[in-house]
Amino acid sequence: MTSYIGLEPSHGSFDKQLITGDGSTTTFTLEFPVAQAGQLLVSLDGIIQEPSYSFNISLSTGSPKITFASAPSNGSRIFIVFLGRSTTSMVSALASPHIDEFNGNGSTTAFTLTQIPSASNAANFMVFVDNVYQRYGSSYAFTVDGATLTFTSAPPSGTNNIQVIQLSQANTINTVSDSTITKAKLTFDPADDATALAIALG
């Protein structure tokens, strides 16, 4: 059985959890641990909730919790999608979905993302305008080219009414500069290593 540090491969699907509000409870136990609020997509009676504003997450007595800014009404349907999961108590921030928020002005259609997407396809994005999900594609709501997200029609004027969630990110592999590793540094002399080992062993 293979083990993973950080997020498990999603294999094309995300875990979900359903909760019913009772009008007084603000804190609920999550079925899976997450590192930050941005790793959850939370819908309250069909309205998307803003991470770190409408809700936050915490770890209480070893159990992951979600706490809402105000108690969901009695009988309300809370739908939670786990965009990222932690198999340990520590998760790299690079494993978390990246979120951009923009203001619509009724005329601007192109917005520059703060991070270049690892993949410019529908499966990598969830975009909401005024909490309404936008469908990807040139015949629908928006397209992405490099770091530019372009809507087919300008989002209406409002404050932070556009939320762009990148579900996966490209990890950068650190490299060294050219010519910084010399031949001398790579030279291997078994005799030197044998001498060093003999000294260490006494």
The stretch 58-81 carries a mean pLDDT of: 87
User: Tell me, what's the pLDDT at 89?
Assistant: 38
Over residues 148-191, the pLDDT tens digits come to 899 988 988 876 788 888 876 544 444 555 666 666 655 555 55
Could you tell me which of 39, 14, 38, 42 has the C-alpha nearest to residue 28? 42
Question: CA-CA distance, 110 to 143, in Å (whole number)?
Answer: 10
Share of the chain above pLDDT 90, in %: 23
Q: Return the structure tokens found at 134.
A: 């936008």
In the 3-class helix/strand/coil scheme, how is the chain assigned residue by residue?
CCCCCCCCCCCCCCEEEEEECCCCCCEEECCCCCCCHHHEEEEECCEEECECCCEEEEEECCEEEEEECCCCCCCCEEEEEECCCCCCCCCCHHHCCEEEEECCCCCCCEEECCCCCCCCCHHHEEEEECCEEECECCCCCEEEECCEEEECCCCCCCCCCEEEEECCCCCCCCCCCCCCCCHHHHCCCHHHHHHHHHHHHC
> 90-100 burial, b if ≥16 CB within 10 A, otherwise e?
ebeeebbbbbb
How does the average pLDDT of the chain come out, rounded? 76
Q: Return the structure tokens found at 198.
A: 């003999």
User: Tell me, what's the pLDDT at 31?
Assistant: 86
Which residues are CB-contacts of 180 (< 8 A; sequence separation ≥ 6)?
Answer: none
Over residues 101-147, the pLDDT tens digits come to 899 898 999 999 888 776 666 667 888 888 888 888 766 788 888 88
User: Tell me, what's the pLDDT at 10?
Assistant: 47
pTM of the full structure? 0.43
